[in-house]
Structures are given as structure tokens and as C-alpha cells.
Amino acid sequence: MQADIRRDRIALNAQAALRHASLGQLTEAAACYGTIITLAPDIPEAHNNLGHVLEKQGHLPEAAASLRTAIGLKPGFPQAHYNLANVLEKQGHLDAAVSHYRTVIALQPDQPEAHNNLGYALGRLRSLDEAVVCLRWAIALNPRYAGAYNNLGYTLGELGRPAEAAECYRTAIAIDPAFHEAHNNLGLVLNEQGRTDEAVGCYRRALAIKPDFPEAHFHLGMALLARGEMAEGWAQYEWRWATADGIEEARHFAQPQWRGEDAAGRTVLIHAEQGFGDTLQFCRFASLVAERGLRIVMEVQPPLLRLLRGLPGVHRIVARGEELPDFDLHCPMLSLPPALNVTLATLPSAACYLQADQAQAAAWRMRLDQMKDARPRVGLVWAGALRASPALEAIDRRRSLPPERLAPLLELSGVHFTSLQKQGPDAPVCFPMTDFMPEMNDFADTAALIANLDLVISVDTAVAHMAAALGKPVWLLDRFDPCWRWLTGRTDSPWYPSLRIYRQRDPGDWDAVITEVARDLHSLGTNPR
């Protein structure tokens, strides 16, 4: 009799759990599975189902524990291995997730979801070629698998095959026209191909399907800014804080964000975000904020502290990590343009808004003059600093060039070259180039050296921003899919009057860029200082 009652209670709770789960009542479903486990702790399906519900609730450690119990009770339980792999992937334990996906495939080779998720995890581990194989298996098992096409498109894009990636996204959209992520991803790959207008259309279609899709808003913002449409561009760009990366990077203060309202007499903390170049580019807006009567405290990355100390309009500047003084409002640095209603017509583009330390610059002038070399002095930067994020690493790879590709420039005898490359690949020792960078401890040191150069030639790095902000002529070597800040189809920049842009005409084609620069540099070399 007791056994029958126990069996009936288990069956009733199982039915209730399934009903609650189908209605999205996760707390109730979890309680029912918990009751089943209390009555019969040796039922692996109950532990698996509880783990799956806990995953949906976001209780990942508890979900993993339940799923491991299920596998302990039944090692050849493919659904438990699959669910555990999904939990581990969300936790960032990618190697462990891959192991469990492989177990699922060994137990059930015809499960397309396992092949797809394995491919996605391998892609995150940068095992891109193997990821492609897994994703193609998923599609072979289910030719209508829109998610696998989307993941394959992303992986092919990371492998530098944008045309194939675009075709995958289009297939995903054909299968599922409401697949908002695929519309957004197609926009990204079209933008990488220089098709900005088409990319804008993709982002807008994604937002028509899902109006609160942060990534599509953010990417639309950058595309509009690249087209010079700053009013809407800045507004869309503010969605960066709702993206997955932005949520992690956002600063949270008790004080409200300043958004351009009248706040004369109050103190606003303007804090740097993103990279050194962004700080160097956007710190210019502090003077406009000061003109509105606000007292400015600015927080910047420590290597920029000395260089930015004399920035007009800033009452006090502190290094990130130092204790902040009292303030009433705050504003991320790249949120200043929308707060100030900045457009191309009102963009402040003074010839120079940063200054090198006069004593340091004079010391470098004396030192360089002692070299008794009357040739024009040209600084070179050929690579960005590779970063941890896969997306940023891909951009860094595209914006950097191997130093060997500089050979046509360095063969010019009428120019004296100085390295301004702080990190990244070293130039060949045979290159005729002076290198003082081991002596540079911060940006102020480098600025003092740049103050004594005639020209800076740089890929899209912070040094290019700094040199242009110092008023130095800058020749920017830009990739085929440029950052939004350099706009589209221009060889000049409204941000920096002294900057000239040399763009790739085809993806990865640095040779044509270097040939053009060498031609112009030859003219400079025939006119020494």
C-alpha cells in the first residue's frame, strides 16, 4: 500500500511539474521535482529535469549539481550530459562543456542540437575549423536548422570568409524571417565588406522584429555615425550599456548621469571608458561642459594622467583606481556628444587641444638635434595591442600590419624613421629606424618625443589620436572596414584637421596603402626641414 501511495505521489508531481514547466511556472515546477527527489532520490530523470528548470531560472551552480547527480545515477544519460554541457557553456567552462557535448554525440550521433552547440563552444575556444565541421554536421542532420546556419555564419566570419558568412545568415533568415540575431549578424558582415547602407537596413529589420535588441541598436548607432548622421547615431550608440559587454563594463554610481540638462554650479565626474584612443578623442568635450557652468572632475586611465592634466575646463583629474572626490553627477566620456547635441557641424576640432610638457619636449629636441640629421623625422606605428575579447582581437588583427610590410617606406633614404610602437611585433633589426620606446613610461613621455617629429604614420591606434590632438600631421593607415569615427569615403577627418586617411581598397591589402604612402613620403623626403 505505501509503495502504491509513493508511486502515485511521484506520478502526480511529475504531471504537475510538466504542466508548470509548460506554463513557464518554473518555481512551482522546481518544487514538484524536488518532491519527487525527496520521495525517490534515485530517479535520474527527476534530477535532470530539476537541473533543466534551475538552468532556466538562472541558478547555474545548482543546476550543474543536479545534472551531475543525474549522470552519476545514469552515466549513459544523453539528455543530462546535454543539459549539463549547456550549463557549463553559460558558466564559461568551455572545455568541460565540449567534453559533455562530445559524450552526447557519442551516445546519440544524430542529434543536430549537440553538433550545433559543440560547434558554438569550439568557436568560442577559437577552434574555428573544427567548429565549422560540427556546424555543417548539424545542418546535414537538419537542413532547416536556422540557428546552426547563424552560428556557421559567425564562425566563417571569424575565419575571414565574409561572403560565405553572409550567405549563411541569408539562409537562416530565409528559414526563419523573424530571426533577429541573424539580421543583426548579416548587418555586421555587410559592414565589414564596406556595405554600410545595406548594414543599416539589416539592423533596422532586426529592430522591427525585436525593438529592445541592444546589439542591433548599438551597431546601428556605429553605422549611422560612420555616415555622419550623428543625431540618431549618438542616441543609438547609448544602447552600448545594455549589450552583454556593456553590462559587464558599466560603472554604477549613486549619482545620476548628466544628460545635458542645466546643472550650472554642480560637479560632474566625466569618466573614461573603452580604450586610450577613445579617451584622447573624447576628452575634448570637457571644455564644452565647463562652458555650461559645471565643475569637472575627470577620471582617466593612469598612463594618460600626466598628458591630460592641463586639459582646458577640467578642475581636477584623477587616475582610475584612485579615490574619487565628491561629485553630484557623472557622465561616461562617450556619452558627452549626445548630452551636448554634437553634430558634424558643431564638432569641436581645434588644431590642437593637447600639449606636450615643454621641458620634456625641449630635452628631446636637444637630444635629436645632436644626431645632426636634417632629414624629416617620421614616427611609425604598425600594430594595435591585441586584446582578450575575440571580437576585439579580430579588429586588432585587421587594423595591424606585419612590420615587414613597411619595407617600401623604410627604403626611402630621405627620411629619418623613429619607432612609436610600444607593444606588438618588433620590426626587423635590419630596418633603419631609431627606437626610443623602451624609455617611454606613459603617454606624456611619448607626446614629448612626438612634439619633435615632422610626421606620424600610424595604423588606427591611440598614438594616432594623441599625435593629431597635439596638432602633428598624421597619416592614418586604415583597414578596409574602418572604425565609425573615421566616417566613410573620406581622406580627411572632421575630428582632426591635421589627419589624412589612407584606406585599404580591398580587405587586407596593405601593399597598395604602403605604395601610396611611400609615394607621398618621397615628396616629403625631398623637402627636408
- Kind plus residue range of the DSSP H or E element containing 409: helix 407-410
Segment 78-112, tens digit of pLDDT: 888 999 999 999 999 999 999 999 999 999 999 99
Q: How many helices (H) and strands (E) does the chain have?
A: 25, 10
The per-residue pLDDT for 2 is 43
- Sorted by where each starts, the structural domains of the chain and their CATH numbers stand as 253-339 (3.40.50), 358-525 (3.40.50.2000)
Closest by CA position to 77, among listed 120, 43, 110: 43
pLDDT tens per residue across span 404-425? 888 888 888 889 999 999 887 7
State the pLDDT at residue 17. Answer: 45
Percent of the chain residues past pLDDT 70, beyond the cut: 90
pLDDT of residue 44: 83
Cell numbers standing for residue 90: 553559460
For the chain, give the mean pLDDT. 89
Of the two residues 401 and 305, the one the predictor is more confident about is 305
pLDDT at 4 over 60: no
- pLDDT, tens digit, 9 for 90 and up, residues 483-493: 999 999 899 99
Among the listed ranges 2-16, 75-89, 187-201, which one has the minimum average pLDDT value?
2-16
Model pLDDT, residue 1: 43
- Give the mean pLDDT of 119-135: 95
Q: Label residue 260 by pLDDT band (50, 70, 90).
A: very high
Q: Which three cell numbers stand for residue 277?
A: 584612443
Residue 388 confidence class, pLDDT cut points 50, 70, 90: very low
User: pLDDT tens-digit profile of 427-444?
Assistant: 776 678 889 999 999 999
**pLDDT above 50 (res 511):** yes
pLDDT at 176: 97
387 pLDDT higher than 60? no
Give me the mean pLDDT over the 172-196 stretch.
95
User: Quick one: pLDDT band at residue 529, thresholds 50, 70, 90?
Assistant: very low
| Alpha-carbon radius of gyration of the chain | 28
pLDDT digits (tens, 9 = 90+) for 23-74: 466 676 677 666 667 777 788 888 888 888 888 888 888 888 888 888 888 8
Confidence of residue 252 (pLDDT cuts 50, 70, 90): very high
CB 260 within 8 A of CB 244: no
**If residue 80 lies in a helix (H) or strand (E), which one and from where to where?**
helix 78-91
Asked if residue 210 lies in contact with residue 177, where contact means CB atoms within 8 angstroms, the answer is no
Confidence check: pLDDT of 527 > 60 = no
Is pLDDT above 70 for 217? yes
463 versus 389: the higher-pLDDT residue is: 463
Classify burial at 381, counting beta carbons within 10 Å of its beta carbon; exposed 0-12, middle 13-18, buried 19 or more: buried
pTM for the complete prediction?
A: 0.88
pLDDT at 389 over 70: no
- Measured CA to CA, the distance from residue 277 to residue 474 in angstroms comes to 14
